[in-house]
Amino acid sequence: MVKKMGYLLNWVFFLGSTMLVCLILGTILVDIFSKGMSSVSWSFISKFPSDGMTEGGILPAIIGTLMLTLITTLFSVPFGVACAVYLNEYAKPSALTNVIRASIRNLAGIPSIIYGLFGLALFVQSLNLGTSVLSAGLTLGLLSLPYIITTTEEALKRIPNSMREATLALGATQFETVKDVVLPKALPGILTGVILSMSRAAGETAPILFTGVAFYINDITTSPSQEFMALPYHLYMLSTQHQSIEQVRPLAYGTATVLISLVFILNIIAFYIRFKHRSQD
Amino acid sequence: MSIKRREQADIIFRKIFQATGFITIALLAGIFIMLLYNSIAFFVEVKPIDFFTGSQWDPGSMKGDYSIAPLLVSTGLVTLGAMLITVPLGIFTAAFLSEIAHPKLKSILKPIIEMLAAIPSVAIGFLGIVLVGPWIADIFGIQNGLNAINGSILLAVMALPTIITISEDAINAVPLSHREASMALGASKWETIFKVTIPASMPGLIAAVMLGLGRVLGETMTVLMATGNAAKMPSGFLDSVRTITATIAIEMGEVPYQTTHYFALFAIAVILFLITLSINLLGEYFSNRLRRFHA
C-alpha cells in the first residue's frame, strides 16, 4: 500500500513537472497573443510611431531588426561555416584543435552583455564604426559564431566518409571535395542552424544596447552607419522607460506579439527544412 | 583550370579555413584582455579590497562607492532561487521524456520545449512586469512585485529548455543493458529510474545544471526588467535587487567615456566573466567524465 502511494507520488512529480512546463509555455503565448492581437493591424506594422510613442506603429523597429539580422548573418555565416569546415574536414586531433574547440565552447557560455561591452570597445571605439547598425550587427555576429560553428559541424558530421573518399579518388583536391560535395550535401543542416541563429539574433537585446540601438529615429535606417530601432529594444523601452507606461501597454503587447511571431516563423521554417531533409534520408 | 591552379586554390583555402579556427581563440583571448585592460585602469584608482569588501554600489555619491558585494549578493540570490525551481522541474521533465513518455507524446513535447527556448528574453521580462509581478504582489501582499523572486521565476523558465535537453541526452545515453539488468533483478520501473538510470547519468545531469547556471548568471534583459533594480544589499527574496548584468546594462549607456565609473563597469564584467568561465569549465569536466564513463 505504501509502495503504491509512492508510485502515485512519482507519477505526480514526473507528469506534473512536464505539464507545468507545457503550462508555462501556454501561459506565455496565451497572455501575449490574446492581449497583443488586438493591437496588431496593417497600420501597426506599416506606420511610424507618433505622438511620443503613444500612437502609430513600429515600422522602423521591424526594418531595423531585419537589417540587424541580415548584417549579423552576412558576417557570422561565412566565418562560422569556414571554421566548422576547418574543424571537421581539415584539423587533425591535436592539442591545438582541442584549444580551438574549448574556445568555441567557452565563447558560447559568455554572457551576451559582455559581448555588448566587447562590441563597444572594438567596433564602436577602436575601429571607429560609431554606434550604428553595422557595429551592432558585427557584435551579434560574434555572439552567433559559436552556435553556427556547432550546428554546421554537426551537419558536416552526418555526411558519410565514403562520399569524400570517392571524390578524392576521382582526383579532386580537398577544397573541391568540400566545395562541390560536402557543403552542398550538408546544406539543409547548415541552413537549419543559420535560421535558428537568425531567430536568436532577432530577439537579442543586451549586446545592442551600447552598440547602436536607438529609442526613436525619425526615418527608416537605410545605411549601415546609421543608428536603428529594434523590436526587442522597443518592447523594453515601452514596458519600462516610457513616461506613460499604462497608456502604451497595448503597444507593448503588440510589439511582443510581432517579435514572438517573427521568431516563431523563423523556427517553423528551420523545423520544416529539418523535417523535409530527415524524411529524404 | 590547370592542375597547378587547382592545387594553389586548395592551399589558399586550407589557410583561410585554418585562420578562422585561430581567430576563435583570438576572440576569446581578446574579450578577456579587453575586460582586464579596462579593469586595471579601475583598480589603479579604487583599492581591490574596497571593491570586494565594501557594502555600497553608489558611483554617484560624493566619494564614489564602488563595491561589487551588493551586486554579487543580488546575482547570487536571484540565481539560487532560479536554480531551486528549475533543476528539479527540468530533471523530472527530462526523465519523463526519456523513460516514461510514449514516443508519440514525446514528439509533441520536444517542439514545445524548443518553442520555449525560442522566446526572446525581453518578452519573458515583459511578462515579469505585466503578469508575474502582479501575482507576487497579490500573494505576498506587497506593493510592488518587481523583486528577486520575480527574477528567479523568470530565469527558471529561461533555463528550463537548456536543462531539459541536456539532461534528456544524458539519461538517454545510459545503456539499455543497465536498465534491463536492474529489471531482471526484480527492481520495478521506478526503482530502476531512481537507483540505476539517474545515478548513472549523474555527470551529464551535473553538466546540464552547470550550463543552465551559466545561462542564468549571464542573463540580462529579464532581470533588468523584473527585479526592480535597487543597488543595495538585499535581505530576502522579496527585496528589489540589481544583478551585475543589469548594472552594466543600466549604467554603461549613461556613463562618460573613460571615467572611473566607466572602468568600474568593466571590473564587474570581468568578475562575471570569470564566474561564468569557471562554471562552463566545470560543466565541461563533468560532460567529459560522462563520455569516458560510457566509452
The pLDDT score that the predictor gives to residue B67 is: 84
The pLDDT score that the predictor gives to residue A58 is: 85
The pLDDT score that the predictor gives to residue B91 is: 93
The pLDDT score that the predictor gives to residue B268 is: 92
> Which span out of A219-223, B18-22, B253-257, B288-292 was modeled with the highest average pLDDT?
B18-22
User: Is residue B82 pLDDT above 90, yes or no?
Assistant: yes
d(CA B69, CA B234): 10
Residue B72: how many other CB atoms lie within 10 Å: 18
Say what angle helices A2-36 and B148-172 make with each other, to 10 degrees: 120
The pLDDT score that the predictor gives to residue B156 is: 95
Nearest CA in chain A to B21: A83
Q: Do the Cβ atoms of A203 and B17 come within 8 Å?
A: no
Dump pLDDT digits (tens) for A111-167. Answer: 999 999 999 989 988 898 888 999 999 999 999 999 999 999 999 999 999 999 999
- B140 and B13 fall within a common domain: no
- B66 and B22 fall within a common domain: no
Chain B CB contacts of A10 under 8 Å are 190
The pLDDT score that the predictor gives to residue A279 is: 62
What pLDDT band is residue B31 in, cutting at 50, 70 and 90? Answer: very high
The pLDDT score that the predictor gives to residue B289 is: 77
* pLDDT average, residue stretch A17-29: 91
Query: What DSSP assignment string belongs to B233-284?
Result: ---STTS-B--HHHHHHHHHTTSPTTSHHHHHHHHHHHHHHHHHHHHHHHHH
The pLDDT score that the predictor gives to residue B60 is: 76
Q: Which of B156-160, B207-211, B250-254 has the lowest mean pLDDT?
A: B250-254
What radius of gyration do chain A's Cα atoms show? 23
Name the B residues in 47-86 with CB < 8 Å from any A CB.
none
Name the B residues in 242-271 with CB < 8 Å from any A CB.
245, 248-249, 252-253, 257, 265-266, 269
- B79 and B164 fall within a common domain: yes
Tell me, yes or no, whether B209 lies in a domain.
yes
The pLDDT score that the predictor gives to residue A41 is: 83
Give the alpha-carbon dihedral of B138, B139, B142, B144, to 10 degrees: -60
Specify the pairing of strand A55-56 against strand B65-66. Answer: unpaired
Question: In the beta sheet, which residues pair with residue B57?
Answer: B66
Specify the pairing of strand A49-50 against strand B65-66. Answer: unpaired
Cell numbers linked to A161? 566518409
What pLDDT band is residue A39 in, cutting at 50, 70 and 90? Answer: confident
User: How many domains is chain B partitioned into structurally?
Assistant: 2
Q: Do the Cβ atoms of B221 and A236 come within 8 Å?
A: yes
CB pairs under 8 A between A and B: 239
d(CA B75, CA B144): 20
Of A252, A66, A141, A71, nearest to B122 (Cα)?
A252
Chain B CB contacts of A150 under 8 Å are none
d(CA A130, CA A138): 12
Q: Is B88 on the interface with A (CB under 8 A)?
A: yes
The percentage of residues in chain B with a pLDDT greater than 90, rounded to a whole number, is 46
Alpha helices in B46-102 (DSSP H): 48-53, 69-95
Q: Mutate which of A13, A22, A175, A208 to test chain B, going by most B C-beta atoms within 10 A?
A: A175
* pLDDT average, residue stretch B136-149: 88
- Mean pLDDT, chain B, whole residue set: 89
Q: Is A54 on the interface with B (CB under 8 A)?
A: no
Nearest CA in chain A to B7: A173
Q: Is B2 on the interface with A (CB under 8 A)?
A: no
Question: Are B246 and B224 a contacting pair, CB within 8 Å?
Answer: yes
Dump pLDDT digits (tens) for B261-279. Answer: 889 899 999 999 999 999 9
Dump pLDDT digits (tens) for A159-174. Answer: 999 999 999 999 888 9
What pLDDT band is residue A23 in, cutting at 50, 70 and 90? Answer: very high
Question: Are A57 and A40 a contacting pair, CB within 8 Å?
Answer: no
Chain A CB contacts of B131 under 8 Å are 27, 31
| B233-237 CB contacts, 8 Å cutoff, 24+ apart | B233/B55, B233/B69, B233/B70, B233/B73, B234/B70, B234/B73, B234/B74, B234/B77, B234/B148, B236/B148, B237/B77, B237/B81, B237/B147, B237/B148, B237/B149, B237/B152
* pLDDT average, residue stretch B106-126: 91
CATH number of the domain that residue B256 is part of? 1.10.3720.10
User: Is residue A233 pLDDT above 90, yes or no?
Assistant: yes
- B237 and B261 fall within a common domain: yes
Q: Choose between B64 and B207: higher pLDDT.
A: B207
The pLDDT score that the predictor gives to residue B1 is: 63
Residue A85: how many other CB atoms lie within 10 Å: 27
d(CA A21, CA B25): 37
User: Is residue B295 pLDDT above 60, yes or no?
Assistant: no
User: Is residue B191 pLDDT above 90, yes or no?
Assistant: no
Q: Distances in Å between the alpha carbon of A34 and those of A29, A39, A256, A268?
A: 8, 10, 11, 21
- B95 and B187 fall within a common domain: yes
Question: Are B128 and B152 a contacting pair, CB within 8 Å?
Answer: no
Please tell me whether residue B100 adopts helix, strand or coil conformation: helix
Alpha-carbon torsion (A65, A70, A75, A79), positive or negative: positive
Alpha helices in A112-215 (DSSP H): 112-119, 133-157, 161-169, 174-177, 183-203
Dump pLDDT digits (tens) for A70-102. Answer: 999 999 999 999 999 999 999 888 999 999 999
The pLDDT score that the predictor gives to residue B292 is: 67
Q: Do the Cβ atoms of A240 and B225 come within 8 Å?
A: yes
d(CA B159, CA B81): 12
Name which of A14, A86, A142 is nearest B20 (Cβ-Cβ). Answer: A86
For residues A87-124, one letter each, b for 16 or more C-beta atoms within 10 angstroms of the residue's C-beta and e for the rest, the string is bbbbbeeeeeeeebbbbbbbbbbbbbbbbbbbbbbbbb
The pLDDT score that the predictor gives to residue B188 is: 85
- B27 and B164 fall within a common domain: no
- B33 and B62 fall within a common domain: no
The percentage of residues in chain A with a pLDDT greater than 90, rounded to a whole number, is 54
* pLDDT average, residue stretch B44-62: 81
User: Is residue B294 pLDDT above 70, yes or no?
Assistant: no
d(CA A199, CA A148): 12
Closest CA–CA distance from residue A69 to any residue of chain B (Å): 14
Name the A residues in 133-152 with CB < 8 Å from any B CB.
142, 145, 149
Name which of A79, A121, A260 is nearest B20 (Cβ-Cβ). Answer: A79
Tell me, yes or no, whether B122 lies in a domain.
yes
Q: Which of A220-234, B80-94, B173-187 has the lowest mean pLDDT?
A: A220-234
Structural domain range at position B36: 3-45
Question: Are B151 and B228 a contacting pair, CB within 8 Å?
Answer: no
At A251, which amino acid appears? L
User: Is residue A281 pLDDT above 60, yes or no?
Assistant: no
Nearest CA in chain A to B160: A21
Q: Which helix (H) or strand (E) holds B58?
A: strand B57-58
d(CA B162, CA A189): 21
* Residues 6 or more apart whose Cβ sits within 8 Å of residue A151: A189, A190, A192, A193, A194, A196, A197
What pLDDT band is residue A59 in, cutting at 50, 70 and 90? Answer: confident
- B244 and B276 fall within a common domain: yes
CATH top-level class of A58-280: mainly alpha
Backbone torsions φ then ψ of A234, nearest 5 degrees? -60, -45
The pLDDT score that the predictor gives to residue B66 is: 85
Q: Do the Cβ atoms of B123 and A259 come within 8 Å?
A: yes
Q: Is A214 on the interface with B (CB under 8 A)?
A: no
- ipTM (interface predicted TM): 0.91
* pLDDT average, residue stretch A223-246: 85
- B64 and B27 fall within a common domain: no
The pLDDT score that the predictor gives to residue B189 is: 84
* pLDDT average, residue stretch A10-21: 87
- B281 and B224 fall within a common domain: yes
First to last CA, chain A: 50
Q: Is A279 on the interface with B (CB under 8 A)?
A: no
User: Is residue A280 pLDDT above 80, yes or no?
Assistant: no
The pLDDT score that the predictor gives to residue B4 is: 86
